[in-house]
Structure 1
Amino acid sequence: MPVEAARLVNPKKSEDMGEGSRVIRKKKCKRTMTVVAPPPPQPSRPKVPTLLQKLYLACRAVFKGPETIPCPADVQLLCRILDDMKPEDVGLSSKTQSLISENVIEGKPRVTSSTIYHCENFSLCMFFLPATAVIPLHNHPGMTVFNKLLLGKMHIKAYDWVDPSGLDGSTTASMRLARLKVDSIFTAPCDTSVLYPTWGGNIHAVRAETPCAFLDVLGPPYSKKDGRDGSYYKDLPYTAFSNGTKEVVEDEVANYGWLEEIEMPEESEMDYIPYLGPQIMEASR
C-alpha cells in the first residue's frame, strides 16, 4: 500500500476544522482620522470711513460754536475733503440730473433741499435746481459757508458790503453799497467755494444753467433764535444812484451795486425731501 505524503497542519486546527481544511487569516483594516485644525482668526480690518463721515468729523472739530470762524488750516482741511467728494458720496447717481429736471410745477422750476445733518454748530445740506431755477440774492449772517458743486452748471453772483457796519457813508435811506465779488459760471467738478461772515461773497444768488446739485456746509446754520435768520435783496447798478455818498473810481463802477432789502421772494420757496444717501455715524460728544 503506497504511503501518502504527510501534510503539515496545525493539529489543533485540524481537530476544529477537519482534515484538509485551509487556514484563512483576515487582515485587520486600520482606519486613521486626520483632524484639521481651524485656521487662526484673522485680525479684523478697521472700516475705512466714508468721505461724508470724514467731512462730518472734520466739521465737529472745526465748528465749536456760533462765533467760530475757521482758521486757514481748518479751511484747507474742509476744502480738501469737499474737493474729493463726488455725487455718489452723497447718494447721487447718473440719473439724478434727469430727476432734478422733472421738478417743474406749472411751468416754474422748483428748488429742492435735503438736510444730511444738522446741529447747533453746523449743518450739511444739499440743494437740487432744475435748469433756470433761482435761489434769490440772500445773505448768511455770522456764518461761514463751504459750497461744493456736485452736478451740473450754475451761475453765482456774490457781493460783500463795502462797509459791514454801514457807517462809512455807503448807505442811502433804503440801500447799502456792495462790491461785486463773484459773477461767474461754475461747472462740476470744480473747487470748493468759501464765503465768510463779512467777506468772500457772503451775499449771493444762484441760477442753474443746467440741472445741478450742490452741497453746502454752514457753520453755524441759520437760526432765528440766535439772530441768523437771513435777508433777501434786490441789486441795482451803482449808476442808478450815481449821486450816492460814496465816490467810486470810474473804471470800478461795474464792480459795485446797491442792495435793497426786500421781502422773501416767491422763488425762494423750496420743496423738501428726506436724505436717503450714505449715513453718518454720530460720534459721542
Structure 2
Amino acid sequence: MMPGDSNMTSIVQRIARQALVTFRNTPRVGEADGKSFLENHSKLKSLMTEVRAADLNLVPRRADDISPPPLQYHSGVPPVTYMHICETDHFSMGVFLLKSGASIPLHDHPGMHGVLKVMYGKVRISCFDRLERPAGSPQQDEPTLPQAQIGALRRSVLRCTGEYTEESGPCVLSPDLDNLHQIDAVDGPTAFMDILAPPYDPDEGRDCHYYKVLADSEVSNSELKEKEVWLMEISQPPDFWCGGEPYPGPEVCL
C-alpha cells in the first residue's frame, strides 16, 4: 500500500496522517508559515467532517442505557469512557463515549489545538475564552470571595453554545479561541472523535484544569458585560471520571 493511496487507506489513517502534518510544526503567531498551517488545518477539518461511526466500527449505544442514577456512577460505572486510537509528541487521537445525561465538565486545554467530531448522538458544547486583564487595571468588578480563592478566578467570556450531531461539522478550538469548554450529552448516549495537539502533559505545563461558572449570587459589585463571566478553578468534580475501553476500529500506523 502506497502512503498516498487514499483509496486503500482508512479515513482514520488519513486523519491521523493529516493531523501529524498539521501539528508537527505549529507556527507561532505572526510566523511566515502560518498560511501553510491554515491550509493543512483546513484539510484536517474536511477529513473530520467525512468520518462516521461505521468508519471506526462504532455501534451507537442505545439509551441503556437510559440515564443511570447518580448513585450508579459512584458504584464504579464511569459516566464517560475513552477509546485510545493513537498518540505522538504532536497530537493525540481517540473517542470519548458519554452515557445518557453525562457531561465532561468545564475544562481547559493550555496552549493546545483541538478538533472534535460527533460520531453518534448529540452533544451540547459551551465554549469560553479567557480574558486577560491588563497589568495594573482596576479590580472593581472582582467577586468578593475569601482571599484564598481569589487566585483561582478567571475572567472569561462565553463565546458560544451549540449542539452538534454526526451531520455537523467539527467543533474546533485553538490556544486562544474556545479553549475552555463543557460537553454535555443530549437526549441519550453520544460519542465523539477527539484530536488534541499537542497532548496533555503536566510536565510541559499542559495539565487539565476544571472550572465552575460563578452564579450572580456569588458575585458582588459586578457590572460585567453581556456574556462575560467569572470562572473559578476547582478540583475535578467528584461525579466525573473517565474509564477506558478498547478501540474497535482500523489500526493507525504513523
Pick the TM interval, shorter chain. 0.7 to 0.9
2:39 to 62, 73, 76: 73
Contact 1:123 1:221 in 2 (8 A): yes
Shift of 1:222: 0.4
**Is the 8 Å Cα contact of residues 238 and 256 (structure 1) preserved in structure 2?**
no
Counterparts of 1:148-159 in structure 2, within 5 Å, are 148-159=117-128
Partners of 1:280 and 1:63 lie apart in 2 by: 17
Matched, 1:130 2:108: no
Aligned to 1:115: 84
Any gaps of 5 or more consecutive residues in structure 1? Answer: 1-45
Deviation at 1:186, TM superposition (A): 1.9
Say which of 86, 110, 113 aligns to 1:141: 110
> SS of the counterpart of 2:101?
coil
Q: 1:82 aligns with which of 28, 44, 48?
A: 48
C-alpha distance after superposition, 1:249-282 (max 9, x if no partner): 4xx2xx1111000011123311101212111133
Q: Which stretch has the larger CA shift, 202-211 or 232-241?
A: 232-241
Alpha-carbon distance change, 100 to 193 in structure 1, aligned in 2, over 3 angstroms: farther
Q: What is the CA-CA distance between 1:77 and the residue it aligns to?
A: 0.8
Tell me, in whole angstroms, the C-alpha distance in 2 between the residues paired with 1:281 and 1:103. Answer: 37
Task: Quote the offset at 1:86 in angstroms.
Answer: 0.6
Aligned to 1:57: 17
Closer/same/farther in 2, CA of residues 260 and 275 from structure 1, 3 Å limit: same
What is the total number of aligned residue pairs between the two structures?
A: 228
1:268 counterpart SS class = coil
Residue in structure 2 matching 1:177, options 138, 155, 167: 155
Max Rg structure: 1
1:206 to 2:166 alignment? no
TM-score between both structures, scaled by the size of structure 1: 0.72
Q: SS state of the match for residue 62, structure 2?
A: helix
Is the Cα contact below 8 Å between 1:100 and 1:128 reproduced in 2? Answer: no
Check conservation: 1:52, 1:90, Cα contact below 8 A. yes
TM-align CA RMSD: 2.7
TM-score, structure 2 normalization: 0.80
Counterpart check, 1:262 vs 2:234: yes
Which protein, 1 or 2, shows the higher relative CO under an 8 Å CA cutoff with sep ≥ 6?
Answer: 2
